Amino acid sequence: MQQRPSRPRLLQAMIDAFSLPDLRRRLIITFGILVIFRFIAHVPLPGVDPEALRELFRQNALLGMLDLFSGGAMRQFSVASMGVYPYITASIIMVLMVPIIPRLQALSQEGEAGRNKINIITHWLTVPLAGLSGYGQLVLLQRAGVVSSTEPLPTAAIVISLIAGTILLVWLGELITEYGIGNGISIIIFGGIVAGYPQLIQEAYLARSNIVGLVLYTVITLGTIILIVIFTEAHRRIPVQYARSVFRGGRMYRQAGSTYIPLRVNSAGMIPLIFSMSVVLFPGIIASYFQHPGQPGFADTIVRWFSPNADLPVGLFYWGLYFILSVAFTFFYTIVTYQQQDLPGILQRQGGFIPGIRPGKNTATYLSGVINRITWAGALFLAFVAVMPFIARIAPKVFGASEITQIQLSSLGMLIVVGVVLDTMKQLEAQLVMRRYEGFIR
């Protein structure tokens, strides 16, 4: 058998996939939908002053950070300004509501049909959430003088366009899931974040005079990426044994087998960071609606204390609160999802047991203890990733260099990008494994 040249796993998987017609078609569909998404992100809404919009983003660092997730669509105030984040918010709400509302809990236990009904409810919930988010963006831009018209009809037209843009992106994401490779919604978010990286490279070029700070920033960023990969893949294996009775040929046979449950160290993913960011940004966003240019007041104080780019020591309040909330929401979300999975009940119904642990309550207590212990590692990891931009920004001061303010790199964006790349690579390799025979690609 001929030895293949050594290549990175993702690159080798892409090369192998393009040699198969069906996988090549899936990859082309995925890339084509991403191109359509980027075209939609450049379709501007009417009645916007481009110069005033650019000036607003130069003055407001918070908007610049949020714009990174839309791939520049918010900076242009296009129909895709909100991306798929109203749908993500609706999905999170449904995850939290399923164990609380008995009807939704019953639907979740009905298999594929129940999940489809929950998915339909999530889509309907996305519409009002997108409307509220779009109207909030419009009011903020109207107060800043970016959108001059405040008449009901133009306002309704812009909000409806924003809702339609979000629903269109959700539909494109589901097309990727069905006909492409990977999770479509995650791929759309990934495309929006990666589209903003050329701007980050330009900002890094502008900061080239601060060579010490730029080197430290790069080292911290690469180290964070490595840490994200390690904790994304890390899991604790819980051994499980099965003993079943099988009736075959008129006789009863005993069958036994062993496997394991992989409990992920970071089972919550990026959701706690989204929760935490929403909470710490919300007071500043609300206070910004009540700001008056040239008239400092209480609203200006709130905006300054809840700003990610505030100077020390005020900045410690924002990032400290972000750190604490990330830890708290990681535990909260992990516990909620663990209770929904009902692992002890599934094991008992399938005739499985953990060696040395009695089924039922003892198994539930043991699994809860393991999850609580490994969640500490996942929670502290997410909290560190959350405050990484602050560490990277002030680290040059420790070595006597000036602080880097040009580069706005989102740790949440890095977590999403790395997670999507790893997940897509696994799905691509799984598709390839299904088509391999005796070590060769057909």
Contact 285, 144 (CB under 8 A): no
Residues 226-262: pLDDT tens digits? 888 888 888 888 888 876 555 555 554 455 556 778 8
Q: Within 13 Å of residue 338, how many CA atoms lie on the same side as its CB? A: 25
The pLDDT, as a whole number, for residue 1 is: 37
The pLDDT, as a whole number, for residue 67 is: 67
Whether 2 has a pLDDT exceeding 50, the answer reads no
CB atoms within 10 A of CB 279: 15
Tokens describing residue 175: 């097309």
Counting beta carbons within 10 angstroms of the beta carbon of residue 442, is it exposed (0 to 12), middle (13 to 18) or buried (19 or more)?
Answer: exposed
Contact 322, 388 (CB under 8 A): no
pLDDT tier for residue 128 given thresholds of 50, 70 and 90: very high
CATH class of the domain comprising 1-196+418-442? mainly alpha
Phi first, then psi, for residue 417 (nearest 5°) are -60, -50
Taking residues 411-424, report their average pLDDT.
80
Segment (H or E) for 244: strand 235-248
Mean pLDDT of the chain: 78
Residues 57-73: pLDDT tens digits? 766 656 665 666 565 67
Instruction: Round the CA-based radius of gyration of the chain to a whole number and report it.
Output: 25
Longest CA–CA separation in the chain, Å: 89
Length of the chain: 442
pLDDT tier for residue 91 given thresholds of 50, 70 and 90: confident
The one-letter code for the residue type at 194 is V
CA-based torsion, 407, 408, 413, 414: positive or negative: positive
Domain 208-405 in CATH 1.10.3370.10? The answer is yes
CATH 1.10.3370.10 location in the chain: 1-196+418-442, 208-405
Between strands 251-264 and 436-437, the pairing is unpaired
Beta-strand runs (E) in 151-250: 235-248
The one-letter code for the residue type at 215 is V
